[in-house]
Structure 1
Amino acid sequence: MNQFFKYTLVSLVTIATLSSCFKDNDDVFAGKSEINNFIYRGMNAFYLYKADVDVLANDRFANLEELEAYHSQFDSPETFFESLVFDRPRTDRFSVIFDDYVALENILAGNTLNNGMKFGLVGETGSATDVFGYVRYVQPNTSAERENVERGMIFNSINGIRISRDNFNALLAQTTYTIGLADLNAGVTTSNGLEITLTKEVVQENPILVTEVIDQGTQKIGYLMYTGFLSQFDEQLNGVFADFIAQGVTHLVLDLRYNGGGSVNTAIILGSLISGNPITDVYSTEEWNPDIQAQLQASTPERLVNLFKNQTNSGTTLSTLDLNKVHIITTGSSASASELVINSLDPYINVVQVGDDTAGKFQASITLYDSPDFRRSGANPAHRYAMQPLVLKSLNSVGNTDYFDGLVPDIAQNEDFENLGILGDMNEPLLARCLEDILLNGRSSRSSIPSVSYEEIIGSNELEPFGNQMWKELPN
């Protein structure tokens, strides 16, 4: 077994041993009790907030029978899992369980069922119930692109039904639906009679959405719209920075406004590409639950420290810009690994954050399978349940963490849904604020430009499974 997993579970050794000794179950479906045993074993071992959940205490159950008697009161594995999550409204908004780990693996690989229209939902001004949607961007080679959906489009109905705070989940969950377009004025929509029908399909999203090099006087400014930290695209990401270098880029605007997170390792690579710090510098450190933390500190403390990188996982040398300043665009949909990049670079270079407060997620998860060491190999063939619980929180090199309310921008500017602009265009409002600050060498106004006040309810990434997550790939 990998050294990482050699932890001690005190009196639960018996429970862990009994519940992980699998029979030949190829033709047998696991019962609720067997799945619940796996859930408890994984949460007891790894859950970040274990110490805050009394039932996860190592001495809570004397034997397997006591444990099974306890979790028999829950009507499903999902409800049992939910009972073990600490402070769902604020502290842990992100731990999840899946009844099919193949679906989870596809999500982690960026393969999702969607129609390519990425959107936000906003409360209509003057209404306690009505909601409208705005198109944030369109993924290439999708239904939305084929139907000519464009950034900035407004819609207020689906299949002829007015979108509300109570029905948007059900309406948007359909595989095929028709959006009714509308005009927006001062936060109030008026239907214009136009409709577009969209159909979901399995799509592999390339997170490198837009790249530009903008000439501003003698300055060459690289712009990257990056929508997710997916390790499959690390080589392509490195190629973008190589192209920036080839074009003589001296400044960078990194657009993370709709980036809900992803791989910790990719976040380290992106930060390293920007600053080019030595690989001896600390990018971030990790804090696990007390049991895991003590075990790692005693045996392999280096596993708690993430250093800057100088190559990809494939061994390709990173094309680093070696900047001492970067502008990063954020909104409330910038989460997890996006926040990790901002927080980790901050002690080393001048990070100018432009836009709105970020989501406030500093924790990461790992995938736990029902196997003796929680890895995919040897997973119980009688079911496909897997968990993605929060297991660690990230701290930057000076210890900053616990930003529950998000990271606050240096230049505050909310998006104007009546004037979203074109991503990568120098007149797009948030990019324009960055360019102004670069031109004036940091002397631009830090005050927000007045605009209509909107209540943004949720973004499409948050409606997708695992949409605002940060995960860690465990070493072999």
Structure 2
Amino acid sequence: MTFSKVQKGIALALSFSMLAACGGSSNSSSTTDVDNGSTGGTPGNGTNNQWVAGEFKAKEDFANKCAIVRTGSDPFTGEIYKDTAGTLTDEKMWLRSWNHESYLWYNEVEDVDPANYTTPQAYFEVLKTFAKTASGADKDNFHFAQDTAEYRERTQGGASSGYGIRWRFGSTTPPRELFVVQTEPNSPATTAGFKRGDQILEVDGVDLINGDDVETLNAGLFPENDGQTHTIKVKDTFGIEKTLTVTSGSYEIAAVKATNTFVHDGNTVGYIQFDTFSIADAQTDLINKFTEFRNANVNELVVDLRYNGGGLLALSSQLAYMIAGDVNTNNRSYYTLKYNGKWSDDQVLGFYDQEIDWDNSRFTGVDLPTVALNKVYVISSGSTCSASEALINGLAGIDLDVVLIGGQTCGKPYGFVPTDNCSTTYFTIQFSGVNAKGFGEYSDGFIPKQNPNFQTEIQGCTVTDDLTRPMGDISEGMLSAALYHMETGSCPTVKATKVVNQTGISQKNTGPALHKPDNRFEQMIENNAIITPIKDASN
């Protein structure tokens, strides 16, 4: 996965964020001044860092006072590090004050003595709400810290290695099930011949389903570096087995993948698979496709967000406008950021109807194309998050008829600005988003229902992802269900479309597990609702 385009989305967006980050990042040489975690003041640091329950000093009193001081400049920004000599207590007291000022649910955080925690990162883990949602899930699933140098490198530095495969795990223990959901265009996987729905049978000669050599399996499935070559035996959706040779390497993510325009039941239907709002360059692809839709007089639209984890709210707002048009969106709010009442004033985002110059974060004055529809079909799954959910909620907020086809969305009506201090970048929920009607409490996700009764229930049909057909194929389960609903106004009776193990190998239900890649960081970044201030074209 390459970040050359993501840089214009995530990294550029963060550089223009409304909230300023503190400190920088590097693996530069440093000097140390480490305390033992006590709450006593540090001679010479100019600040009393003693913890007193219920009393909070300004975060600036502790910012950039570090137990390990970096020297030199940030290799990504060129700025001189702001680190000064401090202690672990200073770092923890900064976290306490910053979190108390900015955290959306600051009044639900227990004020505990930082001396009870060895590191700032361990202390940060308890600076959150531990409340549950109505479904019993954690209210805050998005509290996270990352080494700043690693964070900068992964969001601003070149490429990451891999095959370009989105996987689906059935079982990680014998009898294991692992399928190819899709591959990125021009990726090593696509070049090698992997297809949607392929079931993995062997890796470098090791039986994936019941084999015990998980070290070989993991090394072959999830390579850590470029240039690693492995052989993988698969069974395709027709039951044909083949052995593919694939070499890991860099590739670019395509935000817009499958598209289609066709006539169904007398209507001209447009279909677009849109996989991420995190790539600002995707604006061009969206503009080109919606120009085609408009010129083809599309009067029914299917927007496939089943794999879209979110990203730039500005791009989400642009897509919403391209769907709904001027009459539906004029002088209407798309997304209002609701803060905790002291960190920032609430901020309103409208429906963006112009192209954006992302290099300078300003509107160009060029109008976006639109199909100006009153109804849209959205295909969803548990991977539909953040800015994708904002699209659903934002359109529902202006009474556009949104029909949801697929699965319950992930439930992330929140966002944050990653903030640095002393070599660590912290992510804490800082705002929620509501639509023009003031609704935004969908922390358990949106649910497709034939007869919705609640605001989190959206008219639509529950349908499983169909790996037996290509994306955009009118016979693919989710798209087919959308077309059936267009025709009848009701949901089809859908057979289970899950690809099953047909190897005939006996099931053991015991044995070593595959080690799934730890992609929590990628999910934290991708699923964040990223806010960027966009200037008028005249500024």
Q: TM-score range by the shorter chain?
A: 0.7 to 0.9
Aligned equivalent of 1:385, options 420, 424, 429: 424
Structure 2 gaps of 5+ residues are 1-15, 21-53, 74-80, 132-136, 358-363, 449-459, 501-513, 535-539
Tell me what 1:194 maps to: 243
Tell me what 1:243 maps to: 292
Q: Do the aligned residues in 2 keep the contact of 1:119 with 1:460 (CA within 8 Å)?
A: no
Q: CA deviation at 1:308?
A: 1.3
Question: For 1:156 and 1:475, how far apart are their aligned partners in 2?
Answer: 48
Tell me what 1:12 maps to: 56
Aligned length: 424
Q: Do the aligned residues in 2 keep the contact of 1:325 with 1:351 (CA within 8 Å)?
A: yes
1:474/1:213 CA distance change after superposition, 3 Å: closer
1:280/1:46 CA distance change after superposition, 3 Å: same
Q: Over aligned residue pairs, what C-alpha RMSD do you find?
A: 3.9
Q: Do the aligned residues in 1 keep the contact of 2:164 with 2:187 (CA within 8 Å)?
A: yes
TM-score (norm 1): 0.76
Q: Do the aligned residues in 2 keep the contact of 1:183 with 1:191 (CA within 8 Å)?
A: yes
Q: CA deviation at 1:310?
A: 1.3
Question: For 2:193 and 2:378, how far apart are their aligned partners in 1?
Answer: 29
1:15/1:411 CA distance change after superposition, 3 Å: closer
Tell me what 2:100 maps to: 44
Q: CA deviation at 1:290?
A: 3.6
Tell me what 2:463 maps to: 413
Q: Do the aligned residues in 2 keep the contact of 1:43 with 1:389 (CA within 8 Å)?
A: yes
Tell me the amino acid that sits aligned with residue 74 of structure 1.
Answer: Y
Tell me what 2:419 maps to: 368
Query: Secondary structure at the residue paired with 2:388?
Result: helix
1:405/1:184 CA distance change after superposition, 3 Å: farther
Tell me the amino acid that sits aligned with residue 296 of structure 2.
Answer: Q
> Could you report, residue by residue, the CA deviation over 1:201-220 in whole angstroms, capped at 9, with x for unpaired residues?
3x331211122212235422
> Could you report, residue by residue, the CA deviation over 1:368-394 in whole angstroms, capped at 9, with x for unpaired residues?
133xxxxxxxxxxxx542223221111
Question: For 1:404 and 1:397, how far apart are their aligned partners in 2?
Answer: 18
Q: Do the aligned residues in 1 keep the contact of 2:180 with 2:196 (CA within 8 Å)?
A: yes
Stretch deviating more after TM superposition (141-150 or 192-201): 192-201
Q: CA deviation at 1:325?
A: 0.6
TM-score (norm 2): 0.68
Tell me what 1:335 maps to: 385
Q: Do the aligned residues in 1 keep the contact of 2:169 with 2:177 (CA within 8 Å)?
A: yes
Q: CA deviation at 1:131?
A: 3.4
Q: Do the aligned residues in 1 keep the contact of 2:144 with 2:427 (CA within 8 Å)?
A: yes
Matches within 5 A, 1:72-471: 73-87=116-130, 90-100=138-148, 103-104=151-152, 106-107=154-155, 112-123=160-171, 130-156=175-201, 158-159=203-204, 160=206, 162=208, 173-175=222-224, 176=228, 178=230, 180-183=232-235, 194-201=243-250, 203-216=251-264, 218-230=266-278, 231-276=280-325, 277-292=328-343, 296=345, 301=346, 303=347, 305-314=348-357, 315=364, 316-347=366-397, 348-370=399-421, 383-409=422-448, 410-417=460-467, 419=468, 421-438=469-486, 440=487, 443-451=488-496, 465-466=522-523, 468-471=526-529
Q: Do the aligned residues in 2 keep the contact of 1:366 with 1:474 (CA within 8 Å)?
A: no
Stretch deviating more after TM superposition (104-113 or 282-291): 104-113
1:401/1:235 CA distance change after superposition, 3 Å: same
Q: CA deviation at 1:161?
A: 6.0
Q: CA deviation at 1:91?
A: 1.4
1:211/1:104 CA distance change after superposition, 3 Å: farther
Q: Do the aligned residues in 1 keep the contact of 2:142 with 2:429 (CA within 8 Å)?
A: yes
Question: For 1:222 and 1:210, how far apart are their aligned partners in 2?
Answer: 11
Question: For 1:204 and 1:388, how far apart are their aligned partners in 2?
Answer: 26
Q: Do the aligned residues in 2 keep the contact of 1:143 with 1:199 (CA within 8 Å)?
A: yes
1:193/1:454 CA distance change after superposition, 3 Å: closer
Tell me the amino acid that sits aligned with residue 424 of structure 2.
Answer: Y
Q: CA deviation at 1:119?
A: 1.8
Tell me what 1:380 maps to: none
1:170/1:43 CA distance change after superposition, 3 Å: farther
